[in-house]
Each structure stands twice: as structure tokens, then as C-alpha cells.
Amino acid sequence: MSSSGLSFEVLHTDGAARRGRLMTAHGEVATPAFMAVGTAATVKGLTTPQIVATGTQIILGNTYHLMLRPGAERIARLGGLHKFMSWPGPILTDSGGYQVMSLASLRTLDESGVTFTSHLDGARHDLSPERAVEIQDLLDANITMVLDECTPYPASEDEAAESMRRSMRWAERCRTAFRARPGYGLFGIVQGGVYSALRQESAVALAAVGFDGYAIGGLAVGEGQEVMFAVLDETVPSLPADRPRYLMGVGKPADLLGAVQRGVDMFDCVLPTRSGRTGQAFTRRGTVNMRNARHQEDTRPIDPDCACTTCAAHSRAYVHHLFRAEEMLGPILLTAHNLYYYQELIAGLRVAIAAGSLADFAATFAATQTQGDLPLPDSGA
């Protein structure tokens, strides 16, 4: 591990895809990696042993939500986020810029940072680049994210350029404010909307400052998969090859696969947990609506080939019943299943990259993922 930050090593490649190892003060992360979203110091509905059982190595917390409730200083007094939520592994914290833009009201943005009123109680808060870094330090995040402005979509090229360049100036201030220590690091965030030249300008500017990792932000905001992949094609090659690359807020299983093929190492997304709360299951055959009446007498697991704790112990009929009865156990069981599916998918990508068989993995994935809402063979449905 670096004496002044994180350690990252690329172990195997298959085309642009990389299998690697990220070392932090709270343990190792094998990449590609999917981070479970624990916005408010909880992966909704799951205890730490349940999260560990899904194969999750690293979780994500959020600066905006935690600074408002219970407060970064309070979490620091209670021993930091790892101790507070009883999570022993690595934690990345999103800087809160996206949430300020999407959730807060009466916000004003200028060169100094963002002033906003809380969506919880209307209290006024100032979030500067320096304060964002301080909050994440108080939380004891292993990976701190720079404060940035998430460029809205759609935006004109001039609007995207102004937003991106402000974010680059903020990134430099975050780098100056960050307190370096072993096993902790700071990631820059590439912005620039859907404009290739702006994305490359942003990537070059961040690399010149020097960060422990590089995130690609401002995607999965409505531009569609084809445009997102095109942006990645233009952006990823401009990022340092010896640092991890993180695609923020993505995404669906096919998005993860396509991004890994383009050289991305880290992901986070609310889809597996949010879908688990609304009755949508991810399976090797695609997505399945567990509220559908055809499951009400189906004694088989959600996914017959899944080894998660939900599939090992419970039937489709039972999970269907829990959702129809509005029992809280339904979302818990399905969240655990979905997160396990995501972690198994990403682990399969790691194995395929190491074996040089990623193309075969992708072909098999594409051939099976369109069948999710069809009855399983011999289901009688």
C-alpha cells in the first residue's frame, strides 16, 4: 500500500477490460467492483452479515445525507462511519454535489461552492470544496470524492463547458484540502456532458492535478446507453492507466458489462436495492416481477441457479406472498437476492477477464438476458 494513499494494481487485461486489486486501510477490493449503495449509513433493509453474504466488498455513503442527518461531526465523535454502521470494509463517500442539485431547494452556486436549504427542515447550509472534503474526512471515508457540479442533461456545449471548468477548479481545491494518509485516497470526477472534447479536456486537467482514482460523472442521467458508451469510448483512454476508474451511478447489468469492456473498474447504483423494494428481481434470464400472479404457486426459487440465501431457503410463491401482503420481509429477501446477483455478475466478469474469455461471457449474457419475464421451463405457468 502506498505510504500516502491507495494502492492499485492491474492484474489481467482482456482488450480494454481490466482485472485489478485496490488496497485500502480497511481491506482489499477486487476489481471490477460493484459498490452497494448505503446512502444514509445503511444498505436499506440489510444487516452487515447479510451484506457480506452477497459478496459485497465496498459500500458507498453520501456526504449530503450524512451531513444533514445525523451530522458528520457526530459520526466522528461516535468513531467514524465504519464503526457507526458496523461495516468493517472499505467505504467510498459521494461528495453530495448531485444530491444538492437534485434534492435541495433554494440553492445558489458560485465559485466558492453551493449554498442550499435542506430538503429535511429548510435549514441553510454551505458546501464548499474544502467543506466537502472535511466532511468525508470526519466520516472516515477510505475514498473521498471531489465536490463537482453534475452537469444536467440536456445541456448546451457552452453550459457543459462552464460547468465542467468550474468543477475542475473545485477539484484542485479539494486536492489541496485533502489530508493524505496510508490507505485513504481522493478521486477526481470527469465532467463535460456528452461532448467528447470537453470530456477529454476534463480528463487531462484532472490527470495533471493527480488523483488516486478517476470517476466519470454526469452519465446515466437520461442520455441513453448508446450515448453513454460513446462518451466512455472517448473518455476512458484519456485517464491514467495505473489508477482505478469509477463510473458513477451505473447501472443495469448490461451497462456494467459494456463499461467493463471499455476499461471501467468500479460502479455503484441503487437499482439492485431499489428494485428489491419494489418487487423486481434480477436473474440470469433477465428481470422478473415478483408481484406477478403466475408466481403464487411456484415452489421453485427466484433463480434456480442462484446460491444466495433467499434462493436457498424460499420459493417464488413465498416471496410473491410477502409482497402481496406488504410484509417487510419481502423487500429484504429480494434486496439480498438482487445484490447477490450483481456481485456474482461482477465476479464472473473478473474471472472472464483473467481467463481471456470476456467476449464469450458477453455473448452468453446477451443470449439469456431477454428471457426474464418468460415462464421458466416446466413451470406450469
The owner of cell 480494454 is 16
If DSSP codes are grouped into helix, strand and coil, which group holds residue 73? helix
Grid coordinates belonging to 297 = 404457486
* pLDDT on residue 313: 98
If DSSP codes are grouped into helix, strand and coil, which group holds residue 110? strand
Which residues, given as ranges, of the chain have pLDDT below 70?
1-4, 104, 371-381
Regarding whether 150 and 12 lie in a shared domain, the answer is yes
Q: Nearest to residue 229, comparing CAs of 255, 251, 250? A: 255
* pLDDT on residue 1: 54
Beta bridge partners of 114: 109, 127
Regarding whether 260 and 292 lie in a shared domain, the answer is no
* pLDDT on residue 4: 62
* pLDDT on residue 28: 98
Residue 72, C-beta contacts closer than 8 angstroms, at least 6 positions apart? 63, 66, 134, 135, 138, 139
End-to-end, the C-alpha distance of the chain in Å comes to 54
Q: Nearest to residue 173, comparing CAs of 143, 199, 134? A: 134
Q: Residue 379: inside a domain, yes or no?
A: no
Regarding whether 295 and 265 lie in a shared domain, the answer is no
Tell me the pLDDT tens digit for each residue of 160-199.
999 999 999 999 999 999 999 999 999 999 999 999 999 9
Regarding whether 149 and 228 lie in a shared domain, the answer is yes
**Exactly one of 137, 148, 268, 298 is catalytic; which is it?**
268
Beta pairing, strands 286-289 & 17-24: unpaired
* pLDDT on residue 20: 98
**Exactly one of 94, 137, 148, 298 is catalytic; which is it?**
94
* Segment (H or E) for 99: helix 97-102
Question: CB–CB of 368/79 below 8 Å?
Answer: no
Residue burial 7-28, b: 16+ Cβ < 10 Å; e: rest: bbeeeebbeebbbbebbbebee
Q: Residue 376: inside a domain, yes or no?
A: no
- Quick check: is 268 catalytic? yes
* pLDDT on residue 379: 37
Regarding whether 158 and 133 lie in a shared domain, the answer is yes
Regarding whether 186 and 309 lie in a shared domain, the answer is no
Regarding whether 129 and 19 lie in a shared domain, the answer is yes
* pLDDT on residue 378: 44
- Quick check: is 94 catalytic? yes
Regarding whether 362 and 233 lie in a shared domain, the answer is no
Regarding whether 220 and 131 lie in a shared domain, the answer is yes
Q: Is the peptide bond between 272 and the residue preceding it cis, with omega within 30 degrees of 0?
A: no
* pLDDT on residue 91: 98
Which residue type, as a one-letter code, is found at position 301? Answer: P
If DSSP codes are grouped into helix, strand and coil, which group holds residue 140? coil
Which CATH number does the domain housing residue 122 bear? Answer: 3.20.20.105
Regarding whether 315 and 210 lie in a shared domain, the answer is no
What is the model's pTM? 0.96
**How many angstroms separate the CA atoms of 49 and 27, rounded?**
16
Q: What residue numbers bound the domain in which 336 lies?
A: 280-368
* pLDDT on residue 96: 86
